[in-house]
Chains A and B, each alone.
Chain A
Amino acid sequence: MNMHVQDGEFVCLVGPSGCGKSTTMEMVAGLTLPTEGDVTISGTNVTTHPPKDRGIAMVFQNIALFPHMNVYDNMSFGLRLRNFDKKEIDRRVERAADILQIKNLLNRKPSELSGGQRQRVAIGRAIVREPEAFLMDEPLANLDAKLRVHMRTELQRLHKELQTTIIYVTHDQAEAMTMSDRIAVLNDGELQQIDPPLICYNEPANRFVAGFIGSPSMNFIDGEVTADGFDSEFVSVEFDPVGYDVPVGTSVTLGIRPEDVYLADDRDGVLYPTKLIDTVTDVMEPMGDEIFVYLLHETRETTTMDESQHRSKQLLMSVDSATEISEEDHVAVFLDRTKLHLFDQKSGEAIAHGLETSTRDHAATQNTTPKN
């Protein structure tokens, strides 16, 4: 894995559990020695430097405040070790406490603080060091949902204020999407993609990234490239395979996000729709502002197929909560051609994001209209 983080950048490492996010972090921090490869900070190779000489500060998932010291001592620990002037320590701790609004807690022990306060003290301990980079290893994972959202905005504000590089590990892709300048998606210790959040979302480099970023996850339909385009038992989309450098007969996977699946009636807003697909609604998940509808292939009304097949034959669609739709309805849907993704089935690499929108497709769509 090769990753380059710019100065002042907020980079999130995301990935499923056990993919190597925390290990990467520990290697950057110097707590774990990499088996091979180098870590460079500000142009210096620090691979063999101990953690204390790397000019970094870290916020841990389990907070890791020293229980035998009060908040002030916890925050000033690193400065006192570096023999800073007492006045300078006071000034920095005060400033950090100001930013984090924990000024009135300086004399308390960590055991007397709430979860959110502890987390802020832990961040404060990192801030006072004025490091070259912050490493944050799932700092919000142990907080409750409401506090987590609050701390998320606090962290963004902090980053704006300090303009320091932050490397942030999380398994929560919402955190990654909202906070970071760039997202690095990891799987099985391999870097899958590193790009700004919206690019990861709209142009995922491979099937893994496509499935990982976004909630609920993207629909994948396995099929084959034919001379006319993409074909599967469920969905077929017409396009000219020559334009995408895919030989006819290649096994590919079509990806489409739930919000890019539309009911036949909603045609107005979409410029480049695909042909209509006849489906039967299966299960509905009303979320309040929208409804997630699971669609099955018209000819197959039961869901008794095995899991792998099932995935390909099911389509998740999100519709506005005002839509009148109920289970076992027969509905026709179409996909937004510009939001389609094609992935190579073997390697998982992306072949195309958004299909061509030539006149030929227009003709095709118009042809289907009377059929409806």
Chain B
Amino acid sequence: MTTAQNTEIESEGGPFTRWVRNAIDNPGKVHRAMFYVALVFFLFTTLFPIYWLVVLALTPNNLIVDMGVVPHGFNLSVFAELWELVPLHLYMFNSFVIATVTTVYVLLVSSLSGYAFGRLEFRGKGGLLLLLLIISFFPPAAFLLPLFKLFTGNVVVFGLHSPNLFNSMGAIIIPFSGLFLPLSVFILTTFYSQIPDGLEDAARVEGTTRFGALFRVIMPLSAPGLSTAGILTFIAVYNEFFFSFLLSTGDPENGAPLVWGILAFQGQYASMYNYMAAASLIGILPIALLVVVAQEKIVSGLTAGAIKE
């Protein structure tokens, strides 16, 4: 009798009740639905800014007020005209050089320290790692005034003036190499410590030095870690605004980076938003390409790195 009643209630439930029951019976369905919801959300948040840049770039500057989410007009010529106004390629090249030098430097130094922290036993290792972590917690803005003083040659040690690096690439490369080092060191320490000792020993017996073993065996096997650290550093430096803006006067021949190129479209009386948007889109391209290429490298690194103990 009770069971009969129960089945009656089940079948009697409204559409909502039936939907809930169905979801409980098939959790896989719900997981799939949640996955798509999350996917759409992330796609929207990442892609909408780019779409918005496209909209801004295509809309002529005089129609830009009061606009909605669709472009007012279709003005492709900005992408060509902007080169006449500002040598954007020079700014991009500067950014590229700054980011590349910083990345190479960071990877080199963090490889050496990652090797030391990950593979050697020495006194004070924990303390040093902690110190590194603490330094990485410092807000970069706190360094600005002392750095400014340093790079304008106003710091005197034993009668020697600090080099005048203001308004050069060095003024951006040096602080950023320092600021991004801790993160890379931590990433590479983890990766290097996972390479079996036997492989390094084998390389050394075969004829490499410790350095040789690091470059020929440990680093290739840690390719995923290296590219992660490298990409993070490269993107951050390429996009950097704060130091680049304050330690440079904005002339492309003095190593001013991309940010200055985009700001160059901002005049005293007018801001050419469509040119700025177009310049931003062009500036994104190299990074997007880099990530696509590096991603392939990451995947191949993962499949080839089947380390056999």
Contacts and interface: CB of A to CB of B under 8 A. Distances in A.
**Do A and B originate from a single complex?**
yes
A60 B304 CA distance: 21
Contacts of A63: 198, 308
Contacts of A31: 201, 204-205
A125 B206 contact: yes
A26 B202 CA distance: 11
Nearest to A125: B206
B209 A50 contact: yes
A67 B302 CA distance: 11
Given A62-B309, A64-B196, A68-B221, A52 B202 contact: no
Contact of B205 (A57, A110, A118): A57
Interface in A115-138: 118, 125, 129, 135
Interface in A45-82: 50-52, 56-58, 60-68, 77-78, 81-82
Interface in A8-31: 26, 29-31
Contacts of A92: none
Contacts of B212: 81
Nearest to A62: B198
B305 A68 contact: yes
Interface in A200-253: none
Report, as a range, how many residues of chain B touch the other chain.
20 to 34
Interface string A104-117: 00000111000000
A226 B252 CA distance: 103
Contacts, number: 76
A31 B206 CA distance: 12
Contacts of A29: 201, 205
A60 B202 contact: yes
B203 interface: yes
B306 interface: yes
B306 A52 contact: no
B208 A67 contact: no
B204 A51 contact: yes
B69 interface: no
B206 A50 contact: no
B217 interface: yes
Interface string A262-281: 00000000000000000000
B304 A52 contact: no
A82 to B, nearest CB: 6
Given A81-B212, A110-B308, A64 B201 contact: yes
Contact of B308 (A30, A61, A65): A65
B307 interface: yes
A141 B136 CA distance: 46
B207 interface: yes
A77 B206 contact: yes
Interface in B56-100: none
Given A68-B221, A82-B207, A60 B308 contact: no
Interface in B187-231: 196, 198-199, 201-209, 212, 217, 220-221
Given A62-B196, A81-B212, A68 B205 contact: no
Nearest to B304: A68
Contact of A52 (B205, B217, B221, B305): B205
A52 B207 contact: yes
A109 B306 CA distance: 10
A81 B198 contact: no
A118 B307 CA distance: 13
B217 A66 contact: yes
B208 A52 contact: yes
A52 B201 contact: no
Interface in B224-270: none
Contacts of B205: 29-31, 51-52, 56-58, 135
Interface string B271-309: 000000000000000000000000000000000111111
A51 B206 CA distance: 8
B269 to A, nearest CB: 59
Contacts of B196: 62, 64
Interface string A123-165: 0010001000001000000000000000000000000000000
B201 A67 contact: no
B307 A67 contact: yes
A62 to B, nearest CB: 4
Interface pairs A-B: 8 shortest CB-CB:
A64-B198, A78-B206, A64-B202, A81-B207, A52-B207, A111-B306, A58-B205, A62-B198
5 contacts: A58-B205, A64-B201, A64-B202, A68-B305, A129-B206
